[in-house]
Amino acid sequence: MRIIRTIAELREAVKAAKQDRRSVGLVPTMGAFHEGHLSLMREARAHNDLVVVSLFVNPTQFGPNEDLSRYPRDEARDAALAEGEGVDILFAPEPAEIYPDGFATTIHISGITDVLDGASRGAHHFDGVATVVAKLLGIVAPDVAYFGQKDAQQVLVVRRLVRDLNLDVQIVACPIVREPDGLAMSSRNVYLDPAARQQATALNRALEAAAEAVEQGERDGAAIEDAARRILDDAGIVPEYLELRTADDLQPVTRLDGEALLAVAAHVGAARLIDNRLLRVSA
């Protein structure tokens, strides 16, 4: 596996592969790899000739009071894990390589970024995500890019970016990888002390309770949210948001038919965690 730090060098490597008609898969990440990241790499490895993983803690998607400075970083460990998954190139640029002096462009996607994490974290978050993903897609020009359904709103933002800017790339969303007790894997789980780690299991249990209510025939949006909220209440968690929204454009759901996304964000101990579940009923 090659570790590449400059855009010029990366472009050379990808160009050589493309000249040989080899397909290119990209997995964008911020590092601190866990099984969720590795599942994306495996998917990319299974379907592409050249697999590029980007490792870049993107400063522009963090707010001033968020965890940019303490975000877990361990490039040597990440490189070993990526190599173990058969990744060909780890693209690990310095911030100045991505945002040189005079950088002046921001991509803003309206509508779907006004709610959930866009409302909670502020517009800068998805502006930062959309801008860095657009740059990575421009730099690598992959055939396919892989994202985790863990960040469901991010997947919608990336799909909209690709559609609206006519980018020639296929976006694949991979399922959420969970710990044995159901907690969604996240680089931020390292912030949890043992008590908070236990408390955090309530997020997935809440989503499961909502799914169970739907299975029992509940279709009222507020009642489905309440089924989840009761579990959070019992665990002493006050969610930042807990909302049922349409799966494609994040509109509020008063009555469930078809597919909807139940999304939750909450501060648990020292971590801000998100999780979600798609709820489906046949029409």
Candidate ranges 36-44, 113-121, 192-200, 245-253; the one touching ligand AMP (CB under 6 A):
36-44
CA separation, residue 276 to residues 76, 82, 119, 206, 210 (Å): 31, 26, 16, 10, 11
Token digits for 99? 């945002």
Indicate the angle between helix axes 75-84 and 35-47, nearest 10 degrees. 40
- Contact flags string 92-131 toward ligand AMP, x per CB under 6 A: ----------------------------------------
Within 8 A by CB and 6+ apart from 35, the residues are 177, 185
Q: Shortest gap between Cβ of 105 and ligand AMP (angstroms)?
A: 21
Residue nearest to ligand AMP (CB): 148
Task: Check binding of 243 to ligand AMP (CB under 6 A).
Answer: no
Q: Residue 72: is it exposed, middle or buried by C-beta count within 10 angstroms (0-12/13-18/19+)?
A: middle
Q: Is 34 a catalytic residue?
A: no
* Residue 78: how many other CB atoms lie within 10 Å: 22
Candidate ranges 32-40, 76-84, 117-125, 239-247; the one touching ligand AMP (CB under 6 A):
32-40
Task: Check binding of 177 to ligand AMP (CB under 6 A).
Answer: yes
- Binding residue for ligand AMP, selected from 41, 90, 174, 224, defined by CB under 6 A: 174
Of 37, 108, 125, 267, which is the active-site residue?
37
- Binding residue for ligand AMP, selected from 78, 88, 143, 151, defined by CB under 6 A: 151
Q: Shortest gap between Cβ of 41 and ligand AMP (angstroms)?
A: 9
Task: Check binding of 273 to ligand AMP (CB under 6 A).
Answer: no
- C-alpha span between 162 and 153 (Å, rounded): 14
Token digits for 250? 């994040």
Candidate ranges 134-142, 183-191, 210-218, 250-258; the one touching ligand AMP (CB under 6 A):
183-191
Q: Shortest gap between Cβ of 209 and ligand AMP (angstroms)?
A: 20
Task: Check binding of 25 to ligand AMP (CB under 6 A).
Answer: no
- Binding residue for ligand AMP, selected from 54, 131, 187, 199, defined by CB under 6 A: 187
Closest CA to 124 of 108, 110, 111, 112: 108
Question: Order of strands across the sheet with 89-91?
Answer: 2-4, 89-91, 50-55, 24-29, 144-148, 170-174
Token digits for 232? 């959070």
Catalog residues that contact ligand AMP under the rule CB under 6 A.
29-30, 36-37, 39-40, 147-148, 150-151, 174, 176-177, 184-187
